[in-house]
Amino acid sequence: MSASVKSLDPRRDEIWARLSTVSDPELDESVAAMGFVESIEISDSGEVRIGFRLPTFWCSPNFAFLMAHDMREAVGGLDWVRRAEIALTNHCNAEEINRGIGGNLNFAETFPGQTEAELDDLRATFRRKAYQGRQEKILRYLMAEGYTTERLADLTMGDLTSLVIADSKFETLRARYAEIRCEFGGPDASDDIAFTTPEGDAIDVNNFKQYLTVLRRVRINTQFNANMCKSLLDARYDSAGE
């Protein structure tokens, strides 16, 4: 990639913005923020090549495949992109995954005989954990702001949307929760309850503390993994000072 493309090409920013919407399903953090995007190359004719790296040689191939797939979809969605290639490096399944994503194969076709199904269940399991993790973060924030469990159990989507707290951290937590809520929490009209279980049920105010304890366990695990992955990526690529 030439220096001029790197510093001046606005297409690069568009690609970066797209990659920022792609999550590591296990960590619920974007591949861009995690440092998994090693390079972006763009040709004059609109061919894009994304260099993709992971914290270890043995990171689970299923998550690696999901991320590579989602990156290709996200980047390929830009109207000027003629072709999006994902190049996973330094990974035990790099060859298979690059070939599979490049050839538009599904997971079973990419790993013939080594899988019994596509990755929908795996994705759903971790999306549910992401819902729990995002919900816990915003609930804890509001509790620290003085909201009681009674108030939180009754809060509607309308209440949540119209809350004014002058803190960008809150804005981020609310946006992240709102984005995922519709997948689990049922209808989100303004008079619907804002915080529901992953099954879409209201949270029993008498069991609110126990409910939070479960959420917390899920969140700590996710954050722990994200920390571990960041530390390992730094150690592997000596990028701590970047």
Q: Is 1 in the site for another protein (CB under 8 A)?
A: no
Minimum Å gap between C-beta 55 and another protein is: 8
Cα torsion 77, 54, 227, 218: sign? positive
Residue selected from 1, 5, 78, 119 as contacting another protein according to rule CB under 8 A: 119
Answer yes or no whether residue 235 interacts with another protein by CB under 8 A: yes
Contact between 89 and another protein by CB under 8 A: the answer reads no
Closest CA to 193 of 150, 230, 233, 164: 150
Q: Which is nearer to another protein, 84 or 126 (CB)?
A: 126
> Considering the rule CB under 8 A, would residue 56 count as an interface residue with another protein?
yes
Contacting residue, 8, 17, 92, 202, with another protein by CB under 8 A = 92
Q: How far is the CB of 184 from another protein (least distance, A)?
A: 17
Q: Which is nearer to another protein, 62 or 81 (CB)?
A: 62
What's the closest the beta carbon of residue 162 comes to another protein, in angstroms? 29
Find the binder of another protein among 114, 148, 161, 210 (CB under 8 A). 114
Among 6, 8, 43, 60, binds another protein (CB under 8 A): 60
Which stretch in 12-20, 35-43, 159-167, 218-226 sits in contact with another protein by CB under 8 A? 218-226
The position carrying tokens 């592997």 is 236
Identify which of 88, 32, 47, 37 has the alpha carbon closest to the alpha carbon of residue 65.
88
Per CB under 8 A, contacts with another protein among 17-46 are: 26
The yes or no reply on residue 216 touching another protein (CB under 8 A) is yes
Residue span binding another protein (CB under 8 A) among the ranges 38-46, 109-117, 147-155, 166-174: 109-117
Give strand pairing partners of 119. Answer: none
Nearer to another protein, 78 or 218 (CB): 218
Is 10 or 146 the residue whose CB approaches another protein more closely? Answer: 146
Give a three-class secondary structure readout of the chain. Answer: CCHHHHHHCHHHHHHHHHHCCCEECCCCEEHHHHCCEEEEEECCCCEEEEEECCCCCCCCHHHHHHHHHHHHHHHHCCCCCCEEEEEECCCCCHHHHHHHHHCCCCHHHHCCCCCCCCCHHHHHHHHHHHHHHHHHHHHHHHHHCCCCHHHHHHCEHHHHHHCCCCCHHHHHHHHHHHHHHHHHCCCCCCCCECCECCCCCECCHHHHHHHHHHHHHHHHHHHHHHHHHHHHHHHHHCCCCC
- Residues forming the site for another protein (CB under 8 A): 26, 55-62, 92-93, 107, 111, 114-119, 121-122, 125, 129, 213, 216-218, 220-221, 223-225, 227-228, 231-232, 234-236
